[in-house]
Structure 1
Amino acid sequence: MSNIFSTLSKVTLGVAISVAAISCNQEGKSTGATTSKDSTSANTSSTKVEKIVYINSDSLSQKYEYFKDIRSKLEAKVKKAQTDLQAKSQAFQREVAEYQQKAPNLSAAERQATEEKLARKQDELSRLDQNASSSIQQDESAEFNNVYNKITEFLKKHASDNGYTLVLTYSKSNPTVLYADSKLEITNEVVKQLNEEYKKEKK
């Protein structure tokens, strides 16, 4: 059975954070040689700051209600599939044990027929397991892709509204960022607004 947390990285972009700030200060001074008047000229400082921020994707996955609901939904599906398969497996094991007890008293033809029947049931159990895993992986991929799309679409508008040049992510599970100034983090405001939108959608 696949681990439902295997695709959580879909909402973890794992891009290294970088802060680009360009500042240029130039100052010039000239003094007249033949007059008592000093004239000073100074170039005004010009500073251009790129507005780069980041989101802690670990916190986002823990606090975003839509993401939490999707995760709970997938966990419930995994648990149900495991329970169903376990019940069928236990029933099959009982059949095998029953056959082993009766085998000495059965004819060769009866033993062959029973063993073929048990082999078919074992193959069926294997197919059920594979189908359940495949179905869960497909649902997992689709659901987390929806989460990813919802977050990225929100961030496009949020970045435009706030003049952010670049929105990056940080995650302990994907430590491409060694240090990030906490003043650049916008996780809480993003989570708050995402949850407000999700709350309206649920209604």
Structure 2
Amino acid sequence: MKKSLIIIALAFSIISCNNKSAEVKEIKTAYVDTSKLLQEYTEAKDIDAKYKAKSEEMGKELEGEVARFKSDAANFQKNAQANGQAWAQQNGAALQKREQQLSYAQQAMIQQLQQESGVEMDTLVKNVKKFIKGYGKEKGYAYIYGTGEAASILYAEDKYDITNEIVKLLNEKYKSAPTTDVKADTKAELEAIEKKK
């Protein structure tokens, strides 16, 4: 009797496990290669081009100052040899001060460009995340993972990669969107730089 009760209990547990596994819904997942997305997304390319152009323009202004400094430093060197160490010590402070100012100007330029581009890229990343979230809800995904340089997935089958689809949709949205400040600024600055060349 005890054996038959145990067998019946086992049979019920097996049947209930089979029913529960049949009820489990498949979870829809995908991933986006974030490095590839940022390389191929037109808005990200425009922001990158904008700050490269801005960096080159600001760098040219600084290059002129650096060239004048190098010329003055060469002249100082000749005069120091001709006029002696006392003269060099007396007049060298001004040259060192100019060298420091150039270094500070270069650091300030780099910091300004990094800060400005960082703000725009942060906004872009927030908008891309928002877009992917909406896309995931619309398409019925339970999870959309990100891969790339800061990989959160170590392996995934290629069939779950939706990067190209996301890039295509983002580029279409960016092209069709009314001209925004970033888009207008980028195009205007690129055109201005092209005219100067």
TM-score after normalising by structure 1: 0.70
Matches within 5 A, 1:93-132: 93-106=70-83, 111-132=88-109
Return the offset for 1:85: 2.9
Matches within 5 A, 1:19-58: 27=15, 43=19, 45-58=22-35
Other structure's SS at 2:154 match: coil
Aligned-residue sequence identity (percent) comes to 28
1:156 and 1:100 map into 2 onto residues whose CA distance is: 63
Greater relative contact order structure (CA < 8 Å, 6+ sep): 2
2:52 and 2:105 map into 1 onto residues whose CA distance is: 18
Equivalent residue letter for 1:139: E
Aligned residue-pair number: 164
Task: Determine which of 131, 142, 147 is the counterpart of 1:170.
Answer: 147
Question: Counterpart of 1:39?
Answer: none
Q: CA RMSD in A?
A: 2.6
Equivalent residue letter for 1:150: N
Task: Determine which of 34, 55, 59 is the counterpart of 1:82.
Answer: 59
Cα deviation per residue 1:121-161 (whole Å; 9 max; x = unaligned)?
Answer: 11111110111121122123112101101101111211121
2:59 and 2:158 map into 1 onto residues whose CA distance is: 42
1:138 and 1:130 map into 2 onto residues whose CA distance is: 12
Equivalent residue letter for 2:91: T
- Structure 1 pair 202–72 and aligned structure 2 pair: CA distance change class (3 A): farther
Task: Determine which of 123, 137, 155 is the counterpart of 1:179.
Answer: 155
Bigger helix fraction: 2
2:126 and 2:59 map into 1 onto residues whose CA distance is: 30
**Does the 8 A contact of 2:31 with 2:162 survive in 1?**
yes
Where structure 2 has 5 or more consecutive residues not aligned to the other structure, the ranges are 1-13, 180-197
Moved >6 Å (runs of 4+):
none
TM-score after normalising by structure 2: 0.71
